[in-house]
Amino acid sequence: MTKTVFHPAASRGHANHGWLDTYHTFSFAGYNDSSRVHFGVLRVINDDTVAGGYGFGKHPHDNMEIITIVLDGALEHKDSMGHTEAIHKNEVQVMSAGTGIFHSEYNHNKSEEVKLFQIWIFPDKENVTPRYDQRVFAPEDRINKLQALVSPIDNNDEGLKIHQDAWIYRTALGKGNTVKHTLHSDKHGVYILMAEGSATVNSQKLNRRDGLGISQTSEIEILADTDSDIIILEVPMELE
């Protein structure tokens, strides 16, 4: 029987540090909710707005797949692998922390905010060699269809690669249009994040920044009630 978990936008953890206005779908930093620690191997969805000229100083990560989707503005990234990059709107960055990396993230602009989703997924292999990639994803390629942003490293599907049997898609779905997604495995679930707009999934109405997790299903259908920007994450439900 299909299982669902609904996370209204207003139920997320929230902290405003002045330079950082952040919302947490799952427990993170000062937000702790034992019922909202992860959805399968999906550990973190943070919705961050960073003021001009500010950011996160150098800090460590290990054994985590970290995906950053920039919604507006530009994020400057520096890491211990030698990368210094700016990630702009319509770009996605993936970083396999593996055996361990240090990195910093700052707003690339002094006078404009940068808005982004940062997503953490548990890897299926520990202590891999750290790796980094980023790519521009053309917005016209997701109009009323699924655009693959991320896919497994050993899979030929489109998207940046991570060490997990997981996919991330994005769609710009016009009002009245639908998209369907068939899951790759009966051991997977899917998490729908409404970046903008409103839509109906399995009779559940979703508005801006709402989230819906669905498991024990083989297919989902999303109907856009308004013009919408939607992130779809398919992930294994078992933590190995």
Q: Is the pLDDT at 139 greater than 90, yes or no?
A: yes
- Contact (CB, 8 A) for 130 and 101: yes
* Neighbouring-strand partners of residue 230: 171, 194
The pLDDT-based confidence of 84 (bands split at 50, 70, 90) is confident
- Phi (first) and psi of residue 130, to 5 degrees: -55, 145
Number of helical (H) and strand (E) elements in the chain, helices listed first:
0, 22
3 state DSSP class of 108: coil
Q: What confidence tens digit (pLDDT) does each residue in 188-233 have?
A: 999 999 999 999 998 999 999 999 999 999 999 999 999 999 999 9
> Where does 62-175 show beta strands of DSSP type E?
65-72, 74-79, 84-88, 91-96, 101-107, 114-121, 131-136, 147-152, 160-162, 167-173
Q: What confidence tens digit (pLDDT) does each residue in 33-76 have?
A: 999 999 999 999 999 999 999 999 999 999 999 999 999 999 99
Q: Is the pLDDT at 240 greater than 90, yes or no?
A: no
* Of 181, 141, 169, residue with least CA distance to 230: 169
Q: Is the pLDDT at 125 greater than 80, yes or no?
A: yes
pLDDT for 79? 85
Average pLDDT over residues 137-157: 96
- Sheet containing strand 84-88, edge to edge, reads 55-61, 101-107, 74-79, 84-88
Q: Distance from first CA to last CA of the chain, Å, rounded?
A: 23
